[in-house]
Amino acid sequence: MASGRIIFLNGTSSSGKSSIARELLTILDDGVFFHMAVDGFNAMRTKRQLGDEELDAALRRTRMGFHRSIAAMAEAGNDIVVDHVLSEPWRLLDCLTLLPAEDVLFVGVHCPLDELTRRELARGDRPSGLAAHQYERVHSHGDYDLECDTGTASPRECAQRIKEFLPHRSSPTAFTRLRLRHAGSPLR
């Protein structure tokens, strides 16, 4: 069985990843795609209050489980749209280790900081300043197959651009290049 394709959307909180993913599910017509969002995994966690140390450990396990779930779905032949925030280097390293690099279309989702702040306030469901905290970290690895800016393009326009790019992916992919660059890097 062939591995499924993975469209991996990476950007800060409130950058528009989920909106792009929803649009992709409506316009992609060459397979059956599933949207897997890290926020969905976070929502499954217990609602009781956790101390800082316990929460940090639970979040790390959640992210690791999320990464392995993506890999398992793709290995079973499913096409996936991933919605994630790679704000800590170990998250990217874990994904590089687990996911089939040549099957991943790595998409950077950008948005100007002032617009991120406006969206975050409008949403009201994120800690204030979260997107600003993630802003420099999320894209620090510096390599994508494709990049979108939701400050200048709608989620639909970004999704259309991804759809048009998908059959023309370059080889080696960004995941392949990043895997080679980070070979032997410890997961921290």
Taken in order 39, 40, 41, 47, is the CA torsion positive or negative? positive
For residue 31, with 0-12 CB atoms within 10 Å meaning exposed, 13-18 middle and 19 or more buried, which class applies? exposed
Query: 26 Cβ partners below 8 Å, 6+ apart?
Result: 159
Pairing of strands 79-84, 104-110: unpaired
Three-state SS for 142?
Answer: coil
39 part of the active site: yes
**Inter-residue contact 102 to 171 (CB < 8 Å):** yes
The one catalytic residue among 30, 39, 83, 143: 39
Distance between CA atoms of 13 and 68, rounded to whole angstroms?
22
- Residue 69 structure tokens: 């779930």
Point out the residues that are catalytic.
39
